[in-house]
Amino acid sequence: MRTTILAVLSIALLAPRVAADVGPTWQEDPDAGSVPSTGQGVRATGVGTVNRVNGTTTTASPFAEGLVGFDPVDLYEIDISSPATFTVVTGPEFDSRLFLFRKEGSSCSPLAIPVAANHRRLPGSNGSELKAIPGLAAGTYYLAISGAPAIPRGWVSAGSGGYSLVDLFAFPADGLGTQFPLVAGASLAEWTTPAGTASGSYSLAVNGITPKVAGICSDAGRAMAGVSAFDLTGGSTSPETLPMGCEPGVAGMTRTIWVRHTATCDGELTIGVQPTSPTQSPLAVAAWLGCCDQRIPVGCDVAPTNAGQAMTVFPVRAGDSVLVAIGVRMTSSTLPPAVTGDLFIECATTSACGDERAGSCFSPHDTPFCNAGDCCSAVCALDPYCCAVMWDDTCVTGAMSVCIETAPSPDINGDGNVDGNDLALLLSAWGT
């Protein structure tokens, strides 16, 4: 098993690089959420700068396209390094609004405190900007883009121990000028995005932000599936303790950087690191599920040699938030030099006969297996292709001849209902 995975990683590392994960253009991927806990950190693996952020908001009717088509707000976590030159400018693509919030709170309960907003940079035209914000200090902020007439709302104390939701900003009719929070002490809770809220693709020109090297967990940057370069220069030089049982005798790792990956499949996630050239100390990688203050270790590994890969494989569900620490193993009290290398992440869907997600035995799908275990096994015993490559029309025909005759239940298609669909399958298989 392990040799197979190593081979996969080696092949992946030889393949052409996927698009650079960071800068100078940052591409939204996956969707940036609308509140701090779901926002996207514009910060990756210690490589590159960012001067543009591209993404898309959509406000298609939830009735027409389902809730997945409803994405009216994108919120990014950014590091403002130069408050005096900080600017964000949108193009004319749609009637956008920009919002800036200061990051406060803890890693598991981050808060977005409103700072400034703008609807229009020029009279009567699309496009908005944030610039010359009085009192702005260097630090970590949230930048949100939405469309008119969206407004963020937050909780404020309403006296006698109660709280109420209030609008955090209001805009003048012409939309011009920098707007400041309506109330002090509120933090972002939700957005008002009525039907007809403007949306579209955007390209934000940003100035004065420099993604920091994520040396601590709460600053974890984004890591995408595929291969991306990392640089441990600037990582934390404090020893990072590895989870219990990770590797006997390992005191921990150092030069550590942190990234976060959102799993894209139900299956097994492989996370591997390989140095660009042999290191003084072997690479180490560790992974957890959850947020920094409440994380659960799920895997870790230390490279067997100074030129070798460290790799861990563990089960995930699509949407799991995986924290990853990359560093070099502590082999003595002397701080080893920083290294560069490649990070490899791959999610492999695992499925089997009888898996609910495998699809009906009586309809073709482009993945192997089907959801009725006995039927699936019987078909694959005759036609291994159906469990090795995909469940195509031939497999469906096989299921009709093999499974219907032996089906002990009148619920022939296994969907939990006995109805006309079952009768149709019975009739279609009649005499075959």
Nearer to Ca ion, 30 or 139 (CB): 30
Instruction: Choose between 58 and 107: whose C-beta lies nearer to Ca ion.
Output: 58
List the interface residues with Ca ion, window 361-380 (CB under 5 A): none
Q: Which stretch binds Ca ion (CB under 5 A): 4-12, 29-37, 194-202, 424-432?
A: 29-37
Q: Locate 401 and state its tokens.
A: 């001849």
Residues 121-180 binding Ca ion (CB under 5 A) are none
User: Is the bond preceding residue 149 a cis peptide, omega within 30 degrees?
Assistant: yes
31 touches Ca ion by CB under 5 A: yes
* Least CB distance to Ca ion at residue 263 (A): 18
For residues 150 and 399, which CB has a smaller minimum distance to Ca ion in the complex? 150
> What character string, x for contact with Ca ion (CB under 5 A) and - otherwise, covers 52-71?
-------------------x
Q: How far is the CB of 86 from Ca ion (least distance, A)?
A: 22
Whole-number minimum distance, CB 40 to Ca ion, in Å?
A: 8
Measured over the CA atoms of residue 366, residue 61, residue 72 and residue 317, the dihedral's sign is: negative
What part of residues 70-109 is at the interface with Ca ion (CB under 5 A)? 71, 74
The smaller minimum CB distance to Ca ion, of residues 144 and 372, is found at 144
**Which residue lies nearer to Ca ion by CB, 71 or 301?**
71
Separation of alpha carbons 219 and 41, rounded Å = 8
Which C-beta is closer to Ca ion: that of 32 or that of 325? 32
Q: What number of chain residues touch Ca ion (CB under 5 A)?
A: 4
**Shortest CB 71 distance to Ca ion, Å:** 4
Nearer Cβ to Ca ion (199/236): 199
Angle, CA 85 vertex, CA 83 and CA 87 arms, to 5°? 95
Contact window for Ca ion (CB under 5 A) among 27-35, 109-117, 213-221, 348-356: 27-35
Binding site for Ca ion (CB under 5 A): 31-32, 71, 74
